Structure 1
Amino acid sequence: MKRVSVKAASVLRDVGFSKHSSSSLEIIVKPVVLNPLYNLLPQTQNPNQIVDVICSTLKQRDVDFVLSKSLIPHLGNREISRVLLRFQSDASRALTFFNWVKFDLCKRVNVGNYCLLVHVLTWSKKFPLAMQFLCEVIELANEKEEEEDVFSVLVSATEECNWDPVVFDMLVKGYLKLGLVEDGFLAFRKVIGSGFRVSVVTCNHLLNGLLKLDLMDDCWQVYRVMCKVGILPNTHTFNILTNVFCNDSNFGEEVGVFLEKMEEEGFEPDLVTYNTLVSSYCRRGRLKEAFYLYKIMYRRRVVPDLVTYTSLIKGLCKDGRVREAHQTFHRMIDRGIMPDGISYNTLIYAYCKEGMMEQSKRLLYEMLGNSVVPDRFTCKIIVEGFVRERRLLAAVSFFVELRRLKVTIPFEVYNSLIESLCREGKPFAAKHLLERISEEEGYEVKPETYDNLIESLSRCDAIEEALLLKEKLTSLDVKTYRALICCLCRFGRNREAESLLTEMVDSEVKPDSFICVALVSGYCKELDFAKAESLLSFFAIEFRIFDTESYNLLVKAICEMGSGYNKVLELQDRMQRVGFVPNSLSCKYMIQGLKPLM
């Protein structure tokens, strides 16, 4: 590879390069006189001779060389670069020196020092080491507040040292290796713009990175540059571009043109190309075009594989054509391609979505017969199918059958089924399932599961079972307390309910208006109006809960007992002091209470 005319944008002053000097060698060997009196010192203590001393020491020893400590303060970035330039043809000694400076002396080497070492290593064909240090210098440049342009520094260094053009290809690859795709794209443009070449492998890496970032326009720009500068694409290039093409909004109208372009370049579309196009057509619901390509594949002697058929099956299922999808599934098996978990799950999901649970079950048994293990998704979609059909007990029986067949069912799927059973008012089935998996599989029940179960049992008036489960919890949430208190009040067990309220307040769980209604209603049924009034005041003062429904329940109960107009007015006066304001319903109850007295 040849460099076309390169002029760097900036000069590495701290490295000691000068584009105005007539001879780069003169810069390297000419000592900088710090003080004439230093010449009277021994050579090993003279900073004017530090480069010569280091180079001489390096030539005598392979590793672990020792210098006078008096010289170390005078070893700056400029001197480091001069030593590296002396060992352009001896990469091992250059590397030994660089590591000694960096690790033994703990000196901060700069971007210019790194770039010189990278050039030395690439010139000596030590490409893995060169890439390692190239990645380090990229990270070093990115850490600085004023970011140094590694490309410009590498270009400037070429005026002073031996170099291999492959270093610029490696620079782009280094950015991509570090995940800096957009910086890699910028470096690619600089490298090409300066007349250097980039390999097709690096271009493919760049295209792939841009594709993952959804930068489609940049992908096409890279491809156009490749064509312009004569970087010949390969099959991998076109397969990446096929993905780019499929993500383009104009996909579909120019597929034929794109495939013709591939053939003009001398590349036949392969299995990866066709699979990408078929998958894209299916995702967009263009099944006619997808099946047309499927037929073309056979004509081109490209045999469809599991990926091709799975894409077609998914497309048909998404379009609601489940029976056709199953026929395609059987056609795949007839052609000697064994389905995997994804293809089975696709069909099972489609049948469950259509409410065809028997077909889903048959497919799962067929799956097991072919030694394809159902995964988390398989179990989840079957549970969801049974729930949609409101056949929860059938789901429990089915799971028992799966356990008999040694199928491992994930705990989160069990949780989902237990929650559905509780929601649908089948707490005893949920409790039985929970006990079974706890005993047989050592399942550790989560507090939320107990909360759901207690709430469901309470709604079904199974208060004793709910209270027994409560003992297994160290803390309850407001929903669980509410369910228990409301259930106890329905049974007239108001004092137990009130004790739960006390426990709730002690646990710093704030009650709500539903709990207030349940307790007031419960005591009103007992005709204990004083307790009901006391609770109304407690909720208002302690929690700022002014529940009008509870207040009206108390007014109505007093009026219905014929306790007298004065008692109702006294109650109203006391409640107004707490903050309650009577409404139209309160007045209605009071008027109805006065009628027997008239």
Structure 2
Amino acid sequence: MSFRRTPHRHSFTQSKHVSNSGIIKLSSLLQQSINKQKQKQKQNPLFQSQSHSLPSINHKSVTHHFDYMILLQPLPPISSFNQLLNSVSKSKLAIVLYRKMNNTHLPICPNLVTFNIVLNCYCDLNEVGFALGIKGLILKKGFIPNSVTYTSLIKGLFKRNEVIEAVRLFKRMILDGVKPHGMTYGTLINGLCKAGKIDTAVRFHEDVMSGKLGLGFVCKPNVVCYSMLIDNLCRVGCVSKARELFMEMKSRRISPDVVAFTSLIRGLAVLDLQEAKCLFVEMVGEGIRPSVGTFNLLVNVLCKEGRFNEASGLFELMIQKGEQVDSLSYNTLMHGYCLDGKIDEAKELYISMVAKGVEPDVQIYNVLINGYIKVRRVEEAIRIFKQMIHRTIKPNIVTYNALLTGVLQKGDVLAAQKVFDEMPVYGIKPSYCTYNILLSGLCRNNHVWQALELLQTLENNGVDLGIKVYNSVIDGLCKSGQMGNAWDVYTKLLSKGLKPSVVTYTIMIHGFCKVGQLEKADSLFFEMIENGCAPNMVTFNAFMRKDSNVAPKVIELLKNMVENKVTPDASTVSLMVDLLSKDEKYKKYLDILLTFVEVAHPTDLFVGHLIAEIASKCCPLKSYSIWVKIFEILLCGGDTS
């Protein structure tokens, strides 16, 4: 019996980690084991690329230490066992060792710390039922659950999305006289935010800070709690409340971290760009290193607003501050330049990037290729593509879609075919967008039959094509006068599970009007209305140009426009002027025109002017009253009641 509890005599028993009393200094042994594990990981190249990951604990070594400990006589104190359990508290091994402790029939008496470690482990493993059982065991053993116990249970309940139960347990904790600490507060705030209960989290924060819960500064929020609230408020668009909490945090002398700054900057960037920029400068001035994401966000917003000089200035500021901008930072600014047609500036930025040792990726090259194609400098886009291949950077579908767009802009169908055939070489499958580019490009370049053959080939191969692809082919057929083929493609849409869009109907109506098949155009128009597809201005314009003597039709179309809340553009109204002014039956049209004025945009004075022009040509004596009506609508903001 004594032999079972006495370790074998080998070199390990003579270790300097065993004191004269025979009790092992477990902390030293564990640290030694962990250091060895760290050393192995550092020697592994994979670990070098994941240096931010925490080192994993060697479970075999921990089990070995446990087996060794229970053989010692006298037994190590419970604090040593707790330290061992805590080292593996994120895995099921902690529970296995705890059960092993209870089954050894040794005088090992778990204390509150032991139970808390096991309870927390159960919660991490999403086994809250067992965790609540441990809480019951704590009470049975005569211990009083503390804030650590409750915090772990609250975290576990949130993990199971039992939000109401978690909040109820927090209140139970206060009623039981257990004072929550900062970790408890943070767990509750984090859980409520993740559950989407942002309002509840803010109210809880306000109750704590106002003293309503009677917690005082025992439950003082820290920078992490404030950052969580600010970030989640900005995500749901409550930027003003987030700003308020940001100022409150600073007034309590809690320095905002990069998360708080970045979250508020992201929220403000859409509402008040100037304030967002000031906050960014403040962050940099306080020595807080902005994340690359924050910087890229501001540059992106500035570029979208056309403020390229400011975006460039911000970029230069980051470089002057010694901040490490990445390829995405360059990509963002280059994309902004390309949106504004400043491809040469984008190319200079690319050269600067390469000179600074930042390796361009496929996204960078895509921005340049798209930029050159946008300004119709296709040859230079192809040159950039060749540079990309030379650098052994693999192109993607975006690259090839851009190249196809470019060569088809030039009308080089043969080159487009070569580009398309080259895609499988890089393992790239054509996308829905690719087929749309290719088919519409073939139609634009008078290769309608080739487009139709390609469409049939794709259908036969079971390629899933959307309505936009069919619209491109139908448009090409209509423009080339092949209404029979266009009608065949159109009538097969429903059998393919596709619903004609307003664009589909408009293309077909315009095509039939162009070849003088007005009855078919009428039929399609009413079919469009019956199918709940509201016509747009292009549809109406196509109709109004189909016949010079269509005053009654114009009125019918006006009624449809009012019913479908379609506001005419200048060309439509101008066309109405020409058509209605030629018809002597003008009086019955005035009420319809007035009705249309009432649904027109109240600030669109130009539309109002054109409608008044219609009235003046149809009925000069009533034009003054029409103008009075228009100004009444404008002054009342559209409310004529």
So what's the TM-score if we normalise by structure 1?
0.53
333, 351, 357: which one aligns with 2:308: 357
Aligned counterpart in structure 1 of residue 384 of structure 2, from 424, 433, 440: 433
Equivalent residue number for residue 394 of structure 2: 444
Question: What do the CA deviations read for 1:447-487 (whole angstroms, capped 9, x no partner)?
Answer: 56324422442244132432342342347678656765765
2:216 counterpart of 1:257: no
SS of the residue 1:250 aligns to: helix
Q: 1:539 to 1:399 in 2, by over 3 A?
A: same
**CA deviation after TM superposition for structure 1 residue 172, in Å:** 0.7
Take 1:540 and 1:280, find their aligned partners in 2: how far apart are those partners?
50
Show the counterpart of 2:119.
Answer: 172
> Partner residue of 1:370?
321
Partner of 2:244: 289
CA distance in 2, matches of 1:404, 1:134: 46
Would you say the 8 A contact 2:89–2:118 is kept in 1?
Answer: no
2:210 maps to a residue whose letter is: V
1:317 to 2:269 alignment: yes
CA distance in 1, matches of 2:84, 2:268: 52
Check 1:319–1:430 CA distance in 2 against 1; reply closer, same or farther (3 A cut): same
Q: Distance in 2 between matches of 1:497 and 1:482?
A: 10
Which residue of 2 is the match for residue 237 of structure 1? 184
Contact 2:299–2:315 (CA under 8 A) maintained in structure 1: yes
Q: Distance in 2 between matches of 1:217 and 1:405?
A: 54
Mean CA deviation greater in 505-514 or 349-358: 505-514
Structure 1 distance, partners of 2:511, 2:399, is: 34
Q: Deviations over 1:224-267 (max 9, x none)?
A: 344444545434334444546774263575353259844354x6
Structure 1 residue 198: Cα displacement: 3.9
Structure 2: distance between partners of 1:523 and 1:312: 55
Corresponding position of 1:126: 81
Deviation at 1:402, TM superposition (A): 3.0
How big is each residue's C-alpha offset from its partner over 1:354-380, in whole Å with a ceiling of 9 and x where there is no partner? 332221121112212223222465345
> Aligned to 2:423, what secondary structure does the other structure show?
coil
Aligned partner of 1:78 in structure 2 is none
The 3-state SS of whatever aligns with 2:116 is helix
Encode CA deviations 1:487-519: one digit per residue, 9 max, x unaligned. Answer: 567666789779878987897769986797699
User: Structure 2 CA distance, aligned partners of 1:367 and 1:198?
Assistant: 51
Structure 1 pair 496/388, CA: closer, same or farther in 2 (3 Å)?
A: closer
The CA distance in 1 between the partners of 2:2 and 2:407, in whole Å, is 89
Contact 1:463 1:488 in 2 (8 A): yes
CA RMSD of aligned residues (A): 5.9
3-state secondary structure, aligned to 1:285: helix
Deviation at 1:196, TM superposition (A): 4.0
Q: 1:224 aligns with which of 171, 174, 179?
A: 171
Q: Deviations along 1:528-558, whole A, 9 cap, x unmatched?
A: xxxx9999999999x999x9999x999x99x
- Residue type of the alignment partner of 2:423: L
8 Å Cα contact 1:457/1:465 also seen in 2: yes
Q: Distance in 1 between matches of 2:250 and 2:91?
A: 47
Aligned residue number for residue 190 of structure 1: 136
Change (3 A) 1:516 1:292: closer
Q: Match of 1:224, as an amino acid?
A: K
Work out the CA distance in 2 between the residues paired with 1:461 and 1:134: 63
Quick check: 1:326 aligned with 2:277? yes
1:453 paired residue among 382, 398, 403: 403
- Is structure 2 residue 416 aligned with structure 1 residue 466? yes
Specify the alignment match of 2:541 in structure 1. none
**Correspondence for 2:357:** 406
Going from structure 1 to structure 2, the CA distance change for 1:184 and 1:256 (only over 3 Å counts) comes to: same
Specify the code of the residue in structure 1 equivalent to 2:125: L
The answer on whether the counterparts of 1:281 and 1:290 sit within 8 Å (CA) in structure 2 is no
- The 3 A distance-change label for structure 1 pair 492 and 292 is closer
What amino acid maps onto 2:388 in structure 1? I
After superposition, the Cα gap between the structure-2 partners of 1:203 and 1:184, relative to the gap in structure 1 and judged at 3 Å, is farther
Q: Cα offset for 1:175? A: 0.5
Offset at 1:348? 2.5
Instruction: Letter of the 2:136 partner, please give it.
Output: K
CA offset at residue 404 of structure 1? 3.6
Answer yes or no: is the 8 Å Cα contact 1:173–1:184 preserved in 2: no
Q: 1:58 to 1:435 in 2, by over 3 A?
A: same
Q: How many percent of aligned residue pairs carry the same amino acid?
A: 20
Q: Deviations over 1:395-427 (max 9, x none)?
A: 455434433443334423544664576678665
Contact 1:492 1:522 in 2 (8 A): no
Q: Specify the alignment match of 1:578 in structure 2.
A: none
1:4-63 CA deviation, whole Å, 9 max, x = no partner?
Answer: xxxxxxxxxxxxxxxxxxxxxxxxxxxxxxxxxxxxxxxxxxxxxxxxxxx799579969
Alignment of 1:331-346 (within 5 A): 331-346=282-297
Work out whether residues 516 and 539 of structure 1, in 8 Å CA contact, stay in contact via their aligned partners in 2: no
Tell me, in whole angstroms, the C-alpha distance in 1 between the residues paired with 2:257 and 2:90: 41
Q: How many residues align?
A: 430
Question: How far does residue 443 in structure 1 lie from its aligned partner after superposition?
Answer: 1.1
2:284–2:290 CA contact under 8 A, matched in 1: yes
Q: Is 1:207–1:222's contact at 8 Å kept on the other side of the alignment?
A: yes
Structure 1 segments unaligned to the other structure (5+ residues): 1-54, 64-115, 141-149, 526-531, 560-587, 589-598
In structure 1, give the amino acid aligned to 2:271: D
Contact 1:316 1:324 in 2 (8 A): yes
Pair 350,186 (structure 1): closer, same or farther in 2 beyond 3 Å: farther
For CA contacts below 8 A with separation 6 or more, give which structure has more relative contact order: 1
CA shift in 2, pair 1:423/1:212, >3 Å: farther
Write the distance in 1 (CA, Å) between the matches of 2:321 and 2:363.
26
Check whether the contact 1:516–1:536 (CA below 8 A) recurs between aligned residues. no
Match for 2:81: what amino acid?
Answer: K
Q: Give the 3-state SS of the residue equivalent to 1:126 in structure 2.
A: helix
Write the deviation string for residues 539-587 of structure 1: whole angstroms up to 9, x where unpaired.
Answer: 999x999x9999x999x99x9xxxxxxxxxxxxxxxxxxxxxxxxxxxx
Q: Which amino acid aligns with 1:217?
A: I
